[in-house]
Structure 1
Amino acid sequence: MDVTEAIARRRDVRREFTGDLVDDDVLRRLLGAAHRAPSVGNTQPWDFVVVRERATLRRFAEHVASCRADFAASLPPERAATFDPIRIEGIETSGTGVVVTYDDARGGDHVLGRATVRDTGLLSVALAIENLWLAATAEGIGVGWVSFYDEAFLSELVGVDGTGVRPVAWLCVGPVTALPDVPDLERFGWRSRRPLDDAVHWERW
């Protein structure tokens, strides 16, 4: 699979995990792809906490379910009905969570390229996540990005609380039955993809 196909086939996986663990060698390749991402000032401000203990997965899944329920309760009725079938399962069935963190202090006070745009450090972590995701897609491995959580809860769960290190993403990683042809958020009517021509501007907005 070339990179263009991997980009087109990449999906945020929720319900398609087989329940089998991703092979350790495959996981290491995916983490290696993430670790080869470009970063501001070559700071490589990411770390990867691999979570496989069943009790930890269950505890996080319960927390996420509670956060999801709070979000659902905040929606107007028509949006709540659209949201209801969009599930965030996968934390336990994937069997592997990869928590990607960001260390703003890595590289010291004088990070080349970050002096005027502080967010370049955080954006570097996003590039590492995308590298992992595309590498996983090319290997037929599913990835689901979980974002229904309280940051303080996840910091405590993986032991980075009080360190200044932020958890940026919990990624569910594991073998899948198939990657969906249509992304869930489009398939269930939450939001459609914008046409490219609507997003491209020439010279000015």
Structure 2
Amino acid sequence: MEQFFTQFPTVLGALNEGFLQTLRLFIITLVGALPLGLIISFGSMSRFTPLRALTRLVVWVIRGTPLMLQLLIIFYIPGYVLPNGSPWPGGESGRFMASAIAFIINYSCYFSEIYRGGIQSVPIGQQEAGQVLGMTKSQIFFKVTLLQMIKRIVPPMSNEIITLVKDTSLARIISLQEIIWAGYAFLKGSHGYSGLVWPLFFTGVYYLIFNGLLTLFFGWLERKLDYFR
């Protein structure tokens, strides 16, 4: 027990650093994927058949292949096919940039399907009523469709966002130093310690707390949007 308390400050400091990297990847993914997903959903609903078909093909490929494989392709393949080598900066910044792009592309495709389902679930009669009132298409979308869509997509969107928190651990496949990587490092030999298993399992506490806070937030958001009932 005395040895545990000796190790704990060092382990906690390393896990905190790893969690900050995880949190950074999570935030940047949301900032990029939420608006991009909406744009992709417009493409998948487009009346222009080639654009709709191409968009749905891309979404099908991204959703149908593992995120871990996409990370490996985005990080390693450009270095083999581009004449000037890998476009990613060296070190941690390059791994983070590749991870962020892979996560944004992946989650924007998942979000696009949620957006599409939310938009198409709003009764067409409400859009027709907006047209009768003389509203433009943009006014109908932002003042009628979008607000109701948000209410409908909160539960599935919250599920995907909580999944995103856990999926950030996949970035360790390209050696991004997120929280799971930081915990596993003590098993291999880090900060003068080797063979420590408990830091890896202790990372679960970070995920539980973070996902618990997100669950409370989305529960509050659903209650706030109850006025659409």
TM-score with structure 1 setting the length: 0.25
Higher helix share: 2
Higher strand share: 1
Greater C-alpha radius of gyration: 2
Higher relative CO (CA 8 A, sep ≥ 6), structure 1 or 2? 1
